[in-house]
Amino acid sequence: MNGSSYLSPDGTAIEGYFNSPASIEMMQLFVDMIKEGSAYGAQSKISDTFRNNKLAIQESGIWPLKRHLEVIGKENLGIAPLPRMEKIKTSQQCY
């Protein structure tokens, strides 16, 4: 996200990738969202809040999907891009 990567393309280095200006800016965005209350930091709190219809978007992987489908229902789930920073042309996906 934000044109950054945690690792070098060959997967052998983090220096200059994880701590790049783009990565730091992206992580700061998430920290600021948690501090201002527009995002949660704890995965369990996020999933519980999402399933109780008190959270509109959950950034996550595939692991909570089965429980989300059981509680929320397929008709109430969708995939959307994460909010982007100005310079970025693509973003990751979220539920």
Return d(Cα 44, Cα 18) in angstroms, integer.
25
Please report how many Cα atoms fall inside a 13 Å half-sphere around the Cα of residue 25, on the Cβ side: 13
In this prediction, residue 86 has a pLDDT band, given cuts at 50, 70 and 90, of low
- What is the per-residue pLDDT across 12-60, written as a single tens digit (0 to 9) for each? 988 888 888 888 888 888 888 888 877 777 666 777 887 887 777 777 7
Indicate if the pLDDT at residue 93 is higher than 50. no
